[in-house]
Structures are given as C-alpha cells and as structure tokens.
Amino acid sequence: METTLLFFTIIGSLVAFFTYLQKYVIEPEETKNRLLETFKLGRKVNNELIVELEKYVKEHHASQHIFMQGLTFQQGINELKKARSLLFTEQNEKNIKRANVNITHLNSLQEQIEDQILYHSQIKNHFNWFIKNE
C-alpha cells in the first residue's frame, strides 16, 4: 500500500513538474522567439517602406501630393516613422529578449506588430499598384 502511494505521489509530482515547465518555461520561450522574428520582420518592412516612399517623394517632388486615405506622402511617411519610434525600438527588442517577460505583454506586443505589418503591407500594395505603376 505504501509503495503504491509513494509511486503515485512521485508520478503526480513529475506530471506537475513537467506541466509547470511547459507552461512557464518552454511556452514563453517559444512565444518570445516567435515574437522576436515578427518584430525583426516588422522593423525591416517599416524601414524599407520609409526608404522607398522617401525616394519616390524626392524624385517626384511629391511630399504634398495625396497618397492614400486622404494623407499626403509626407504625412504617410511621418506615420510610418511614428510607428518605428513607438513600436520598433531598441528597448522593445531588449524587452522581448529579456528572460522574465510577462506572457500577456508579449502577446499584446505580438498583436500590435502583426497589425503594423498588415498596415504596412496595405501601404506597400497601394503604392505599388496605384502610384508606382502610373
């Protein structure tokens, strides 16, 4: 009887330990790595889009021309730079890399970055289809 009780106690403790590892060590690490890759992609897309739009504006003297959604090219570029200064910062990258980061904060940041990537893609598509091909 005591051997059986000891056996089940050990099994129960092992299950609890591995559940803890999965939920609080492995899962946050995977989330953090996925977020870091998304962050780097978002920052790259942001920088490339700013450079491309600034080049077009310079070549076509188009800073005050309407670009999309009633915004001028310059206003659009400023919005992209604002996203870069608020979201794609070195501090946010450091926060992502930190060992003890709240999983809720990581999920929130992941959602914000994915929204920005989607918005950047819409801007790039609009630029490529309606402006660049004119």
**Cβ neighbours of residue 27 under 8 Å, at least 6 residues apart?**
103
The pLDDT score that the predictor gives to residue 134 is: 64
Residue-wise burial string across 5-37, b where 16 or more C-beta atoms lie within 10 A, e elsewhere: eeeeeeeeeeeeeeeeeeeeeeebeebbeebee
User: pLDDT by residue (tens digit) across 21-36?
Assistant: 566 656 677 878 888 9
Q: Is 46 exposed, middle or buried (0-12, 13-18, 19+ CB in 10 A)?
A: buried
Is residue 27 within 8 Å of 37, Cβ to Cβ? no
The domain limits of the chain are 29-131
The pLDDT score that the predictor gives to residue 131 is: 86
CA 27 → CA 18, 32, 105, 111, distances in Å? 12, 9, 14, 17
Question: Could you give the CA distance from residue 80 to residue 102 in angstroms, rounded to a whole number?
Answer: 27
The pLDDT score that the predictor gives to residue 38 is: 93
The pLDDT score that the predictor gives to residue 130 is: 83
| Low-confidence residues in the chain, pLDDT < 50 | none
